[in-house]
């Protein structure tokens, strides 16, 4: 039975000293909170309609993390032909450094492992917190897109990272 079939809400064991949030599938009712977090986090935030569209696409996996009554973070990935792409991972600024980003991404990997062998992502070269998180979950650099992103001044490279999901899921198993 897959995670999508069970529609479970999962509370994963977070990194040692951090408290756990609840990770569950994103719903339309979450999108107002998601939009607020998105706008505060990114130089070029997604418009709300991107999230609306993502929820309607059968090959998209969209999760939120709730800490108490609030949505505190979310992630979205697409799956095509046995490969996943992480499209967005974000934790509200007030809730960062509590293990929520790691919890979201670990749960996403766990849910994807039955349908994708690898996950890819693009990240700004300057995004040290995100790169540290990805490296700690065994992502490896597989390429660079030169001047891919708009930046406050000029443009910025995207690093392309990839992670082998079966190895990653084994490493996360208790």
Ligand X SMILES: CC(C)(COP(=O)(O)OP(=O)(O)OC[C@H]1O[C@@H](n2cnc3c(N)ncnc32)[C@H](O)[C@@H]1OP(=O)(O)O)[C@@H](O)C(=O)NCCC(=O)NCCS
Q: Residue 41, interface with ligand X (CB under 6 A)?
A: yes
* Crossing angle of the two packed helices 100-112 and 165-172, in degrees rounded to 10: 120
- Is the distance from CB of 74 to CB of 62 less than 8 angstroms? yes
Shortest reach from residue 27's CB to ligand X, in Å: 20
Considering 38, 74, 134, 139, which one is annotated as catalytic? 134
Binding-site member from 50, 96, 118, 164 for ligand X (CB under 6 A):
96
The residue at minimum Cβ distance from ligand X is: 101
What's the CA gap between 54 and 51, in Å, rounded? 5
Let me know if 149 is a catalytic residue: no
What's the CA gap between 21 and 38, in Å, rounded? 19
Taking CB under 6 A as the criterion, which residues in 120-139 touch ligand X?
A: 123, 127-130, 132-133, 136
Q: Residue 89, interface with ligand X (CB under 6 A)?
A: yes
Tokens of 33: 């909170």
Q: Residue 171, interface with ligand X (CB under 6 A)?
A: no
Nearest to 92 by CA among 33, 49, 136: 33
Shortest reach from residue 29's CB to ligand X, in Å: 21
Tokens of 45: 């935030």
H helix or E strand, kind and range, residue 75: strand 70-80
Let me know if 122 is a catalytic residue: yes
- Catalytically annotated residues: 122, 134
Which chain residues interact with ligand X by CB under 6 A? 15, 41, 89-91, 96-102, 123, 127-130, 132-133, 136
């Amino acid at each position: 039975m897959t995670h999508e079939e069970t529609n479970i809400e999962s509370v994963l064991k977070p990194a040692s000293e951090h408290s756990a949030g609840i990770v569950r599938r994103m719903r339309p009712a979450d999108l107002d909170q998601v939009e607020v977090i998105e706008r505060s986090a990114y130089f070029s935030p997604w418009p709300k309609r991107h999230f609306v569209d993502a929820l309607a696409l059968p090959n998209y996996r969209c999760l939120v993390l709730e800490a108490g009554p609030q949505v505190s973070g979310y992630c979205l990935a697409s799956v095509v032909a046995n490969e996943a792409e992480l499209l967005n991972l974000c934790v509200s600024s007030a809730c960062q450094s509590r293990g929520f980003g790691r919890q979201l991404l670990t749960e996403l990997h766990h849910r994807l492992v039955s349908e994708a062998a690898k996950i890819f992502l693009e990240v700004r070269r300057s995004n040290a917190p995100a790169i540290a998180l990805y490296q700690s979950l065994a992502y490896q650099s597989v390429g660079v897109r030169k001047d891919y992103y708009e930046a406050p001044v000029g443009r910025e490279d995207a690093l392309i990272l990839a992670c082998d999901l079966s190895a990653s899921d084994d490493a996360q198993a208790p």
